Amino acid sequence: MTKTAVILAGGLGSRFGQRTECMPKGFIEVGGVPIVEQSIKKLIAAGVSKIIIGTGHCNEYYDKLSQKYPIITTIKNDNYANTSSMGTLAVCAPLIEGSFFLLESDLIYDGAGLFVLQNDVHNDVILASGTTNSGDEVYLGVNGGGVLQKVSKDKSIVGNSAGELTGISKISTECLVRMLDIYKKGVASGSPDLGIKADYEAVLAAVSVGGLPVFVRVISSYSWCEVDNEAMLSRAVAAVYPIISEKESMQAVRREVLLNPGPSTTRDSVKWAQVVADICPREQEFGDTMQQVVDDLTSFVAPVGEYTTVIFGGSGTAADEAMISSCVPPNKRLLVVNNGSYGARLAKIARVYNIEMDEYKSSTYEPLDIADLEKTIVAGNYSALAIVYHETTTGLLNPLDKICPMAKSHGLITIVDSVSAYGGMEMNLPALCIDFAAATSNKHIGGMAGLGFVVCKVQELQKQKTWSMRNYYLNLFDQYEYFRATKQTRFTPPVQVIYALQQAILETKVETIAGRFARFTKCWQILLQGLADCSLQMLVAPEYQSHFITAIKVPTTHDTTTGNKYDFALFHDIARSKGFTIYPGKLGNIDTFRIANMGDIQPAEMQSFVQIMKDYMRTIGLNVH
């Protein structure tokens, strides 16, 4: 997979005159967004995790953009005024690793073009379109095999023209090396086409003629344009951009906002990331993908090396079960904190595996008494503590920053179900004194359901090497050891889920976990205002809530005229018909419904849901503001 892109953005844009005197062409807006930023979003959606921008004229614009998108690196071509696109590519070259997409900065294009190049069997491919009549066409001459031979604005000299250059290509390392070599020689010999003023496409043609074939992939109806001058910009706004928007909208998946506590709403880019070529998961290429995923999952919460991540095909409960059944030393005792359904589940797993265990029970909606928990730990003969970070049952966040260091001070192994906390809030496992933390692909991290994983402190994990196995498929040490040696999982991994997770990780890096927590908090505040407007009560006081789940006590009013009273099924159906899925919750004898802030929820969507909730609550006699 191509995961790097290079954008050539050194040019003066002089054909625009005044408009680009103090601004690079890429920052011209179409549809309210700078065209280069639209390109960046498309590249990210296509799985590109590193974008190198070769700058020159007004480079500070791009430097600023790189602060907004942490995956962008800028590098300036200091000689931009005397060179052309090849000069800028040469400046970018030292930063490029592996195959890359090469794009010009002034392009508006259908993102499907990147999918086409990604899936093209050839390593070096240049994307061509049919006739655009743009007024600045560059024609691509090919031989009978579709291999690039000549590039020119003069159609009469290119021979057999396959189509027009779009400015979007996929290039291999070998091709880049040859391009740089040809350019170097061209500069030395003062060549007019391949020297200091060379365009990259001319050099690409020289590589292709010189023996490394560059294939021209023609999509005759491809929608794209460049904006070199005012006339092109007018055409872009009036004719090209609307068509691209329409074509892209044809691939939009119907939006369902899941306000249930996971699986959560995923982005289309994550859904589409599963649509990839089939691969045997024992191939090196897939092993490299898994290694990257494993390292990325670790790096969000702990230093890679000191910690590692062990993955299993399965849900969050599989990760919980792997931890509980693997991490308690043989014949040693476990203490499980149970202050909600997921704590109860950890205890149940321990029971099934006949692990010696006690439950420490605490209120499901009030903070637990840490001093009392410590007394229990001191009084018992425990080797490990298991606890849920965020109790998804109620939205209660357990203060692990105090609990786990306390447990560690008594020598316990700390085992944490962080299924509904991981990726939603910043966590630092070493600082929190957490040895093992379980999570899943489909909650805050934003991937598809199907992968459970445990972030493990390597030193603690290695102790399990000599322990007798209580489990098989879910054995943490065996899975770790086999992966470490082979970059393979012992058994078939959920291949497509891993590709989706890779995309979700990329988008998490772009948003940042702090940014994600801020977005969830914003949604949560909108919800809280809506609840206050309806005089609805929450189960947990706001200061103890995670911001990821809010449990709301069901109203007991009824409408005096109609007699209507609260009916979850009806409320659910109304919300669902409008694209929102809500979830019931019963805690002992307390009846609640639960609203989650997980996955790709946006504040405007929470606002829409609040309106639906208010409309419904009015029908059952609540006094709604």
Binding site for Mg ion (CB under 5 A): 106, 136, 226, 228
* Coil, helix or strand at residue 521: helix
Number of other residues whose CB lies within 10 A of the CB of residue 141: 18
Q: Which of 321, 417, 507, 605 binds ligand PLP (CB under 6 A)?
A: 417
258 binds ligand PLP (CB under 6 A): no
Out of Mg ion, ligand PLP, none, what residue 315 binds, judged by CB under 5 to 8 A for its kind, is ligand PLP
H/E stretch holding 374 reads: helix 370-379
- Determine, following the binding rule CB under 6 A, whether residue 419 of this chain makes contact with ligand PLP: yes
Q: Is the CB of 11 or the CB of 452 nearer to ligand PLP?
A: 452
When the beta carbons of 225 and 449 are compared against Mg ion, the nearer one is: 225
The one of Mg ion, ligand PLP, none whose footprint includes residue 110, by CB under 5 to 8 A per kind, is: none
Nearest approach, Cβ of residue 139 and Mg ion (Å): 12
Closest by CA to 41, choosing from 59, 13, 65, is 65
CB of 144 to ligand PLP, least distance (A): 55
Choices 46-54, 416-424, 461-469, 583-591; region in contact with ligand PLP by CB under 6 A: 416-424
Strands 100-104 and 4-9, by their bridges, are parallel
Helix axes 85-92, 200-209, angle to 10 degrees: 80
Which residues is 348 bridged to in the sheet? Answer: none
Nearer to Mg ion, 27 or 307 (CB): 27
392 is a contact residue toward ligand PLP (CB under 6 A)? yes
154/372 with CB nearer Mg ion: 154
Helix, strand, coil share (%) of the chain residues, nearest 5: 40, 20, 35
- Tell whether omega for the bond before 584 is within 30 degrees of 0, i.e. cis: no
343 contacts ligand PLP (rule: CB under 6 A): no
CB of 588 to ligand PLP, least distance (A): 18
**Nearest approach, Cβ of 320 to ligand PLP (angstroms)?**
6
388 is a contact residue toward ligand PLP (CB under 6 A): yes
Q: Which residues, in sequence order, are CB contacts of 555 under 8 Å at separation 6+?
A: 534, 536, 566, 617, 620, 622
Site string for ligand PLP, 432-471 (x = CB under 6 A): --------x-------------------------------
Q: Give min distance, CB of 548 to ligand PLP, in A.
A: 9
Q: Does 27 bind ligand PLP (CB under 6 A)?
A: no
Residue 519 tokens read as: 């977005």
| CA gap 605, 596 in Å, rounded | 12
Check: CB of residue 176 under 8 Å from CB of residue 93: yes
Report, in Å, the least distance between residue 84 CB and Mg ion. Answer: 11
Instruction: Determine which residue in the list 420, 502, 503, 592 makes contact with ligand PLP, applying CB under 6 A.
Output: 420
User: Hunting for tokens 């054995």 — which residue is that?
Assistant: 475
- How far, CA to CA in Å, does 381 sit from each of 1, 353, 461? 52, 19, 21
Q: Which is nearer to ligand PLP, 125 or 582 (CB)?
A: 582
Residue 321 as a binder of ligand PLP (CB under 6 A): the answer is: no
Q: Does 383 bind ligand PLP (CB under 6 A)?
A: no
- Closest separation between CB of residue 364 and ligand PLP, Å? 13
Contact between 395 and 550 under an 8 Å Cβ cutoff? The reply is: yes
Give me 1's structure tokens. Answer: 């997979």
Query: If binding is defined by CB under 6 A, does position 315 make contact with ligand PLP?
Result: yes
Strands 580-581 and 257-258: parallel
Non-local CB neighbours of 147 within 8 Å, separated by 6+ positions? 208, 213, 214, 215, 216
Question: Binding partner of residue 420 among Mg ion, ligand PLP, none, CB under 5 to 8 Å per kind?
Answer: ligand PLP
Q: Torsions phi, psi of 26, nearest 5?
A: -60, -20
Q: Which does 136 bind (CB under 5 to 8 A by kind): ligand PLP, Mg ion, none?
A: Mg ion
Among 110, 320, 359, 507, binds ligand PLP (CB under 6 A): 320
* Least distance in angstroms from the C-beta of 13 to Mg ion: 8
Among Mg ion, ligand PLP, none, what does residue 480 contact (CB within 5–8 Å per kind)?
A: none
Q: What is the 3-state secondary structure (H, E, C) of 61-124?
A: HHHHHHHHCCCEEEEECCCCCCCCHHHHHHHHHHHCCCCEEEEECCEEECCHHHHHHHHCCCCC
Q: How many residues does the chain have?
A: 625
**The entry of Mg ion, ligand PLP, none that residue 106 binds, CB within 5 to 8 Å by partner kind:** Mg ion
Structure-token match 């390292």, residue found: 295
Hunting for tokens 């890779």 — which residue is that? 502
Q: How far is the CB of 492 from Mg ion (least distance, A)?
A: 47
From the list Mg ion, ligand PLP, none, which binds 118 (C-beta under 5 to 8 Å, kind-based)?
A: none
Q: Count interface residues toward ligand PLP (CB under 6 A).
A: 13
Does 101 sit near ligand PLP (CB under 6 A)? no
Question: In terms of Cα–Cα distance, which of 130, 100, 300 is closest to 200?
Answer: 100
Shortest spacing between CB 268 and ligand PLP, in angstroms: 22
Residue 228 contact among Mg ion, ligand PLP, none, beta carbon within 5 to 8 Å by kind: Mg ion
DSSP code, position 392: T
262 is a contact residue toward ligand PLP (CB under 6 A): yes
Please give the helix or strand (H or E) that residue 586 lies within, else none: strand 583-587
For Mg ion, the closer CB: 106 or 478: 106
**What is the amino acid identity at position 7?**
I
Rounded to whole angstroms, the Cα distance separating 65 from 63 reads 5
Residues that bind ligand PLP (CB under 6 A): 261-262, 315-317, 320, 342, 388, 392, 417, 419-420, 440
